[in-house]
Amino acid sequence: MDYTQDAEKYRIGLPDDPRSTVPRGPHIAYFDSNRGWIRFTFLPRVAEPQIVVEEIFWQ
């Protein structure tokens, strides 16, 4: 099984714009020369803002 091809297919399906189309929805950040990404949401709270990581991928 070639995991890199599966990962590439999945990555192509991700939106190019790292901002969410849904307010307060998931965001995508790329790292390591676009070899990896992280999908996260931000929960704004007065006392303790939180970043919730939904998915991380790095190849």
Checking if the pLDDT of 22 tops 70, the result is no
Q: What is the token pair recorded at 48? A: 């303790």
Put simply, whether the predicted model's pTM sits higher than 0.85 gets the answer no
- The full set of domain ranges for the chain reads 3-58
Average pLDDT over residues 17-21: 56
Residues 6 or more apart whose CB falls under 8 angstroms from that of 2 comprise none
